[in-house]
Chain A
Amino acid sequence: MPVINAFKSAVNFLSAPQYLVTAMLVLLLVGLRSKLLWSKRGGLFLLVAIGGGMAISYLDPNFNAVASLPDNVPIVGMIFLVGFFFWFAMNQAYENDRRIAAGLPTIEAADSAQKVFSWPDLVYVELICLVVVMAVMIVWSIFLKAPLEEPANPTDSPNPAKAPWYFLGLQEMLVYYDPWLAGVVLPSLIIVGLMAIPYIDTNPKGNGYFTFRERKWEITLFLLGFLVLWCTLIALGTFLRGPNWNFFGPYEFWDVNKLVPLNNINLSEIIWIKMLKRSLPNFWLIREIFGLVIVGFYVAALPLLLSKTLLRRFYEKMGTPRYLIGVSLVLIMISLPIKMYLRWFFNLKYVVNIPEFAFNI
């Protein structure tokens, strides 16, 4: 069927990392502000579109082979659960925003005036949850056997060799950053950054109820990290990365022999060889001076510059320590998509490349 095949190739093409991440970014930024998406009708539309699309995709043998691996089933579940709760949270946030705008109490405020006895109101809700979870776990366990592969063989490495699924976002980062950043520094900063959230976010509003309008910045930045840079990259690493960590579209066969040309070049090569028409200087400090200045500017000078210009409002509201830590963390988070786009559109490999000290950025 040529029509279906053309459609499949189009989807394969469009799910390449550069389009997938761009689409998710645009969907997030536009979607958060579109009221229609978070209504019941919008949610139903999303469910039918995503659920139907995936259900039909299972008919494709290549999609089926990857998506129905026992260990990938939870990730399909994660996509739907995270998607549902995202919609559910935003649905209540928009309802509350409407009420606040109309001068009415929020859903939660209408409820919170009174207290109820924990027995039975709370205890029974919990009991029902436990029973449902246990039922789901038992049914899931009966119908899906836990996989067991060949016995461990340290001399025979599988291709692709993948980390546990919840770390696949980090493994995907390895494409763009060296292991010391993608595997050590950035994960540590994710943990530190998460812990720092309550101390950086001084907005007193939106405590104890769903709202979007009162917390636009916080929610947008958090969801940029959680939905786009964490969950999307996990899905990408699980379903779209095959042998040699090459990209494969959802309907593409995982061909071990797929060749992807590697023509990435370093910033120092672009500047010294392509632009200045010279050979690379031997001494690393001179060779990498442009990259070092750019990174130094991004990490150290940009937060200060922004405090005087674009983010002045935040700087004045937050105070110096909060502002500097918060903006630095956000800039480091945003550096991931920046590095991704530099790779996709300029084939940039390293901004700073000092193999002398195994120091590459």
Chain B
Amino acid sequence: MVPRWRQIQEQIVASQFWKSIFRVGIPNTNRKRVLAMLGNVVLHLHPVKTRKSGVKMRYTWCAGGVTFFLFLVLTFTGLLLMFYYRPTVEYAFVDILDLREQVPFGIMREVHRWGAHAMVISVWIHMFRVFMTGSYKPPREFNWVIGVILLVLTLLLSFTGYLLPWDQLAIWAITVGSNMASATPLMGIQGPGTGLLKIGDIPLVTSTNDARFGLLGGRFVGAGALLRFYVLHCVGIPLIAAFLMAVHFWRVRKDGGISGPA
């Protein structure tokens, strides 16, 4: 006997279990399309109706959406990597080596690393698009400001993650980058004017309390820096970024949706 697929499908869709999850059913009428958008926690980021120019790829390039998606991909792959990685000078490198050598077909580290590069580029392209369409203009000025902070957070996320493999590339890139902090005016050991800050002969700013020390948790890139960057990379910056992303998306809606000509 031929199973009646249609009938089985209808029975499933009509069941109490199914209807308790998917309240609306297949959105095949306008009313259901509205309810589908309103009833789903993820989809209700979007308005029920969108300006037609705003759904066009040629206008948005989907660059902001891709950036957000890459953030989710990085969160997921990063979480998996955290199971196998210990942020200590003793284990950091060998844990990465193990991930590389012991996991057949493993690509989580690859997706995480290339995804991070891709996210930096997609943020730039998103900002480039927003600039070229003048979308930062009133009433969206402050959302552009939040976007700039998110750009900085993206770069910091990538920068803190750069150290974690604890190979030569990692520590020397972070050494070059963090050396800049020691040149901070009045706050870095080599910064302009820092030498003037002293009581009698005792300098106020030394290599154990200057801006670079605060960044690295030590006088050089060592165990303190590794732990500090790990915590910032996995918890601190993602939390702030996630909060600001929520504000960013909220304001897109509140400022009138995806921009378009008046």
Residues of A within 8 A of B (CB): 71, 74, 77-78, 81-82, 85-86, 88-89, 92-93, 105-109, 111-123, 125-126, 129-130, 133-134, 137-138, 140-142, 144-154, 156-158, 161-167, 170-171, 178-180, 182-185, 191, 194-195, 197-199, 201, 203-211, 215, 219, 222, 226, 357-360
Given contacts A81-B125, A358-B190, whether A209 and B260 have CB atoms under 8 Å apart is: yes
Task: Give the complex CA separation of A180 and B145 in angstroms.
Answer: 25
B183 close to A178 (CB less than 8 A):
yes
B260 close to A108 (CB less than 8 A):
yes
Residues of B within 8 A of A (CB): 27, 30, 33-34, 36-37, 43, 46-59, 61-62, 65-66, 69-70, 73, 89, 93, 96-97, 100, 107, 109-115, 117-118, 120-121, 124-125, 128-129, 131-138, 140-142, 144-145, 148-149, 151-152, 155, 158-159, 162, 165-173, 175-177, 179-185, 188, 190-196, 220-222, 259-262
Chain A hits for B111, CB < 8 A? 137-138, 141
Given contacts A82-B125, A118-B50, A183-B183, whether A147 and B221 have CB atoms under 8 Å apart is: no
B110 close to A141 (CB less than 8 A):
yes
Which residue from A93, A162, A163, A166 sits with its C-beta under 8 Å from B120? A166
Given contacts A108-B59, A207-B137, A208-B262, whether A119 and B121 have CB atoms under 8 Å apart is: no
A357 close to B193 (CB less than 8 A):
yes
A164 close to B193 (CB less than 8 A):
no
Task: Give the nearest-CB partner of A78 in chain B.
Answer: B121
19 contacts between A and B (CB under 8 A): A108-B261, A109-B260, A117-B50, A129-B69, A146-B112, A148-B100, A152-B171, A153-B171, A163-B177, A164-B159, A164-B173, A180-B183, A197-B136, A198-B141, A201-B136, A206-B137, A208-B259, A208-B262, A226-B124
A144 close to B110 (CB less than 8 A):
yes
Min CB distance B91 to A, Å, is: 11
A129 close to B62 (CB less than 8 A):
yes
Task: Give the nearest-CB partner of B69 in chain A.
Answer: A130
Task: Give the complex CA separation of A106 and B168 in angstroms.
Answer: 53
Task: Give the nearest-CB partner of A156 in chain B.
Answer: B168
Min CB distance B104 to A, Å, is: 13
A153 close to B114 (CB less than 8 A):
no
Min CB distance A350 to B, Å, is: 12
A151 close to B93 (CB less than 8 A):
yes
SS class of chain B's interface: helix, strand, loop or mixed?
helix
Known: A77-B121, A115-B50. 11 other contacts (CB 8 A): A89-B132, A115-B51, A117-B33, A122-B54, A123-B46, A137-B115, A158-B168, A162-B176, A164-B159, A179-B183, A357-B192
B196 close to A357 (CB less than 8 A):
yes
Min CB distance B125 to A, Å, is: 6
When A and B form their complex, which 5 residue pairs have the shortest distance between CB atoms, in order from nearest?
A183-B180, A141-B110, A179-B183, A198-B141, A111-B53
Task: Give the complex CA separation of A201 and B138 in angstroms.
Answer: 10
Task: Give the nearest-CB partner of A230 in chain B.
Answer: B124
Task: Give the complex CA separation of A106 and B249 in angstroms.
Answer: 26
A138 close to B107 (CB less than 8 A):
yes
Task: Give the nearest-CB partner of B58 in chain A.
Answer: A92
A184 close to B175 (CB less than 8 A):
no
Task: Give the complex CA separation of A359 and B191 in angstroms.
Answer: 8
Chain B hits for A166, CB < 8 A? 120, 155, 158
Chain B hits for A118, CB < 8 A? 33, 37, 43, 46-50, 55
Chain B hits for A201, CB < 8 A? 136-137
A125 close to B114 (CB less than 8 A):
no
Which residue from A81, A158, A206, A358 sits with its C-beta under 8 Å from B192? A358
Given contacts A166-B155, A184-B183, whether A358 and B124 have CB atoms under 8 Å apart is: no
